[in-house]
Amino acid sequence: MSVTAPRGFAASGVAASIKASGAPDLALVVGYPFGAIAGAATFTTNLAAAAPVQISRTHLAATRGRVAAVVLNSGCANAATGARGLEAARRSAEVVAEAIGVGVDEVLVCSTGLIGPHLPLDRLESAIPGLVDSLGSTRADAARAAEAILTTDTHAKEVVVERDGFSVGGMVKGAGMIAPNMATMLAVLTTDASIGPAGLADALRLAVGSSFNELTVDGCTSTNDTVCALASGLGRAVELDELADALSEACANLAFQLAEDAEGTTRVVRVVVTGASSVEQARQAARAVAESNLVKTSLYGADPYWGRVLSELGASGAAFDIERVSVRYGPTLVFADGLEVEHDRPATSAYLSGAVVELLCDLGLGAGEATVLTTDLGPGYIDENMRTS
């Protein structure tokens, strides 16, 4: 069900020939019956932000958090496309707005795909009537929307989180170029919880901070990242905390799905740093380990070479005393008190061959803790990314 699981939403996905392959590439998520509801979004921090990001930011500011629809395309990022790109993004919002009878600034726009090419606006405009006509609230409708936003993802990613009296649904696309803040990723979250735009924005910020922003695949921050949240208000009134909790659960689930399906990944790696001098330093250290090509390559090889982990911790900028550090691969302690700890190397390598592995680093200095989700680095990543055309 994903985005249509909460009450008050409809979705659709069609093929608009933006992708040369003819695969689905245009999706729509709307509050249903049509009309503006509470909306919020977080966007990429990249200063080369794509046209749809600029338009969506402007729309959201103009309405102060009232959103009727999110239109998303894959197959073209509409980034680095100048004034023509901005006009194309604005126009796609306008065509949707006219079709469902809402204001243009009540429509958000998201794009993903290659940077540079112009959006084929004529094809997009021609496809929008069919996109609106096929809106529905079934599981299949939501699945079609989730399918239409994919790029190099191998499958759609959806989630539903049920709570007493309200629920959260979500869909996401990711694949490569995933890093704080944020992934190359588009996500739409829906909820029937009753909450105002300000509360929704706060809850979304908390949820994204503890999920997508703690995921790093290759350290690259894209031009197009957007996470949108819409609240229909058809369920019960909620406190900020309980909505943030449900959104966080949904986002964490989607972030894990992103890591699992990242380009060329063979395993998901959870890097946990504890005992840092501060939470900030724990994050810094965890990210240094999680983004190290040498660590990631040895994880691809299921090679328990803790020396690289230690070296990254020492070079991370976080306070570090080698005598106090311990390093574990899952259950196995491999380094403590300044020295390697005798361990069963074949068993540790077998552990590292799993689909999900944990790398636990305790700095022994304070109470700062952080977890960063990452992936291994193998030839699949290179195959996917060495040529774009």
The verdict on 82 binding a second copy (CB under 8 A) reads yes
Of 219, 306, 292, 208, the residue nearest 262 (C-alpha)? 219
C-beta separation of 252 from 157 below 8 A: no
Give the footprint of a second copy on residues 213-242 (CB under 8 A): 218-223
Shortest Cβ 77–a second copy spacing (Å): 7
Q: Does 35 bind a second copy (CB under 8 A)?
A: no
Say if strands 166-173 and 268-276 run parallel, antiparallel, or are unpaired.
Answer: unpaired
- Choose, by CB under 8 A, the member of 305, 333, 343, 364 that binds a second copy: 305
**Using CA atoms, how far apart are residues 264 and 51, in angstroms rounded to an integer?**
29
Nearer Cβ to a second copy (80/104):
80
Q: Which is nearer to a second copy, 63 or 81 (CB)?
A: 81
The nearer residue to a second copy, 34 or 351, going by C-beta atoms, is 351
Q: Does residue 322 belong to the site contacting a second copy (CB under 8 A)?
A: yes
Which residue type, as a one-letter code, is found at position 106?
A: E
Q: Categorise residue 252: left if φ over 0, alpha if ψ from -120 to 50, beta otherwise.
A: alpha
Smaller CB separation from a second copy, 252 or 313: 313
Q: How far apart are CA 166 and CA 361, in angstroms?
A: 38
Single residue of 314, 330, 364, 366 touching a second copy by CB under 8 A: 314
* 266 catalytic per annotation: no
Q: Choose, by CB under 8 A, the member of 292, 348, 374, 375 that binds a second copy.
A: 292
Specify the residue for token string 């995933």: 178
Question: Which residues 247-266 are close enough to bind a second copy by CB under 8 A?
Answer: none
Which residue's CB is nearer to a second copy, number 69 or number 177? 177
In degrees and rounded to multiples of 5, residue 147 shows phi and psi of -70, -40
Candidates 44, 184, 265, 274; catalytic one = 184
Taking the least distance from each CB to a second copy, the nearer of 154 and 389 is: 389
Minimal CA–CA distance to 78: which of 26, 17, 28, 121? 121
Q: Give CA–CA dist 170/357, Å, rounded.
A: 26
Which of these segments, 75-83, 130-138, 185-193, 200-208, binds a second copy (CB under 8 A)?
75-83
Of positions 141, 245, 249, 291, contacts a second copy by CB under 8 A: 291
DSSP secondary structure of 157-202 = EEEEEEETTEEEEEEEE--SSEETTEES-EEEEEE--B--HHHHHH
Query: Of residues 241, 280, 337, 344, which one binds a second copy by CB under 8 A?
Result: 337
Q: Find, among 133, 135, 134, the residue nearest to 10 by Cα.
A: 135
- By annotation, the residues acting in catalysis are 184
Write out the residues near a second copy by the rule CB under 8 A: 45-49, 77, 79-83, 114-116, 176-177, 218-223, 291-294, 297-298, 300-301, 303, 305-308, 310-315, 320-322, 335, 337-340, 377-379, 381-382, 385-389
